């Protein structure tokens, strides 16, 4: 039997009943609680909601009731997802969402047991970040046409993402007030609404200054750039004076990769962040300093880049050592 495609999974999921009102209320209460406790970003809240609504809709085929689901029900749901072809990584994320939900139910006194207690996450392969070589990054950065306002904006965004190791959501969401070119620093709000200060190099400052002096006024066409729902004026804008979406920026990076002669399948916005980290380590950066620059709350998250650096050293050894 052939494996289910993503389109097959979407069709099977869409065929499920809607989320029962009681489950929707329980999910909303949980999302509000974790937002108040941890200040989770909107993307993380949406991820929790999708995972929990998936189980609620599947369970609604029978007796329903997400809040009081038993361990046997969760086993059955995991088995159904396996038949639909969901990846181990997706299942691991689901289990994390379920554990958080039922833990909240227990803390609030709404439930006396945790049905996820004996559910083990699937074994995940340790994936090394895909980083570009330094020459590939140079080619990618040089791909935009800086004689056009959009191209100058894109060059500044690529330079800034690589110089500061930004997540794509951090880059497109940067407010204009986050940049201090006089001090050569950038204030970034990362996951969990945590702020960090990142130094900027001369190249990124040069292109950012050119964008602010030339491209941004041209894109705004002399009009005021409106603030978002949080009262922040976006730094990077399109011709409609609105911030770029993550999806649109993703397509830009793919397009510039192709123009630079790089396989677009090997390039993503997050790949520039990986390249930033890998290149710093290869040039002797301290792991703790890299953790601060990337905004990782745990050093263990940053340590995966040491595997990339060690692999780089092994290749150098094999290429140049007489007995390599």
Any domain includes 124: no
Higher pLDDT, 190 or 51: 51
What are the φ/ψ torsions at residue 167 (nearest 5 degrees)? -75, 155
Name 109's Cβ contacts closer than 8 Å, sequence gap at least 6. Answer: none
Asked if residue 147 and residue 71 are part of one domain, the reply reads: no
Average pLDDT over every residue of 128-142: 84
How large a percentage of the chain has pLDDT more than 90?
A: 38
Structure tokens given for 97: 């969402």
Asked if residues 122 and 80 have their Cβ atoms less than 8 Å apart, the reply is no
Buried b (16+ CB within 10 A) or exposed e, 219-258: beeeeebeeeeeebebbbbeeebebbeeeebbebbbebbe
Residue 229's pLDDT band (cuts 50, 70, 90): confident
Going across the sheet that includes 179-180, the strands are: 179-180, 185-189, 195-199
Asked if residue 145 and residue 57 are part of one domain, the reply reads: no
pLDDT tens digits for range 113-126: 889 987 877 665 55
- pLDDT of residue 255 exceeding 60, the answer is yes
d(CA 277, CA 197): 16
- Give the per-residue pLDDT at 29: 93
CB atoms within 10 A of CB 77: 17
- pLDDT of residue 3 exceeding 50, the answer is no
What are the φ/ψ torsions at residue 186 (nearest 5 degrees)? -130, 130
Asked if residue 206 and residue 70 are part of one domain, the reply reads: no
- Dihedral sign of CA atoms 252, 253, 259, 265 in order: negative
Asked if residue 255 and residue 162 are part of one domain, the reply reads: yes
Asked if residue 297 and residue 184 are part of one domain, the reply reads: yes
Asked if residues 168 and 160 have their Cβ atoms less than 8 Å apart, the reply is no
Any domain includes 173: yes
Domain that holds residue 177: 134-320
Higher pLDDT, 224 or 9: 224
Any domain includes 126: no
Residue 274's pLDDT band (cuts 50, 70, 90): confident
pLDDT tens digits for range 170-216: 899 999 999 999 988 888 887 767 788 888 889 999 999 999 999 99
Residue 9's pLDDT band (cuts 50, 70, 90): very low
- Give the per-residue pLDDT at 239: 93
What does each C-alpha distance from 187 to 14, 50, 276 come to in angstroms? 41, 31, 17
What are the φ/ψ torsions at residue 43 (nearest 5 degrees)? -60, -40
Average pLDDT over every residue of 97-120: 89
d(CA 64, CA 57): 8
Angle value at C-alpha 267, between 134 and 238, nearest 5 degrees: 105
Residue 4's pLDDT band (cuts 50, 70, 90): very low
- pLDDT of residue 145 exceeding 50, the answer is yes
Any domain includes 122: no
Asked if residue 217 and residue 94 are part of one domain, the reply reads: no
Residue with tokens 């190791």: 165
Asked if residue 139 and residue 62 are part of one domain, the reply reads: no
- Give the per-residue pLDDT at 8: 45
- pLDDT of residue 264 exceeding 90, the answer is no
CB atoms within 10 A of CB 185: 16
Instruction: Provide the CATH number for the domain around residue 283.
Output: 1.10.443.10
Residue 318's pLDDT band (cuts 50, 70, 90): low
Cite the active site residues: 167, 191, 270, 273, 296, 305
Name 284's Cβ contacts closer than 8 Å, sequence gap at least 6. Answer: none
Residue 300's pLDDT band (cuts 50, 70, 90): low
Asked if residue 234 and residue 96 are part of one domain, the reply reads: no
d(CA 77, CA 55): 7
- pLDDT of residue 311 exceeding 60, the answer is no
- pLDDT of residue 323 exceeding 90, the answer is no
Higher pLDDT, 309 or 140: 140
CB atoms within 10 A of CB 6: 9
β-sheet bridge partners, residue 72: none
Any domain includes 78: yes
pLDDT tens digits for range 71-91: 888 988 988 988 888 888 888
Average pLDDT over every residue of 274-292: 73
Structure tokens given for 60: 């609604």
Any domain includes 112: no
């Amino acid at each position: 039997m052939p494996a289910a495609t993503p389109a097959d999974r979407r069709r099977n999921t869409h065929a499920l009943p809607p989320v029962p009102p009681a489950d929707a209320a329980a999910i909303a209460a949980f999302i509000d609680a974790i937002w108040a406790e941890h200040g989770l970003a909107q993307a993380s809240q949406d991820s929790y909601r999708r995972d929990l609504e998936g189980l609620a809709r599947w369970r609604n085929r029978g007796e329903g009731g997400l809040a009081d689901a038993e361990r046997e029900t969760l086993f059955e749901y995991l088995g159904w997802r396996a038949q639909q072809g969901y990846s181990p990584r997706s299942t691991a994320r689901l289990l994390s969402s379920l554990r958080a939900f039922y833990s909240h139910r227990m803390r609030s006194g709404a439930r006396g047991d945790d049905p996820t207690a004996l559910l083990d996450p699937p074994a995940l392969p340790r994936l090394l970040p895909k980083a570009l070589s330094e020459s590939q990054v140079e080619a990618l950065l040089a791909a935009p046409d800086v004689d056009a306002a959009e191209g100058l904006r894109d060059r500044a965004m690529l330079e800034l993402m690589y110089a500061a190791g930004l997540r794509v959501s951090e880059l497109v969401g940067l407010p204009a007030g986050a940049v201090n070119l006089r001090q050569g620093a950038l204030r970034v709000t990362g996951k969990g609404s945590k702020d960090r200060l990142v130094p900027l190099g001369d190249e990124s400052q040069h292109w950012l200054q050119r964008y602010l002096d030339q491209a941004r006024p041209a894109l705004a066409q002399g009009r005021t750039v409106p603030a978002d729902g949080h009262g922040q004026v976006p730094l990077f804008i399109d011709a409609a004076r609105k911030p770029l979406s993550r999806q649109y920026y993703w397509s830009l990076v793919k397009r510039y990769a192709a123009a630079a002669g790089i396989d677009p399948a090997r390039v993503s916005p997050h790949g520039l962040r990986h390249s930033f980290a890998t290149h710093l380590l290869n040039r002797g950066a301290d792991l703790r300093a890299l953790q601060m620059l990337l905004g990782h709350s745990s050093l263990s998250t940053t340590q995966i880049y040491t595997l990339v650096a060690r692999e780089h050293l092994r290749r150098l050894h094999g290429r140049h050592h007489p007995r390599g």
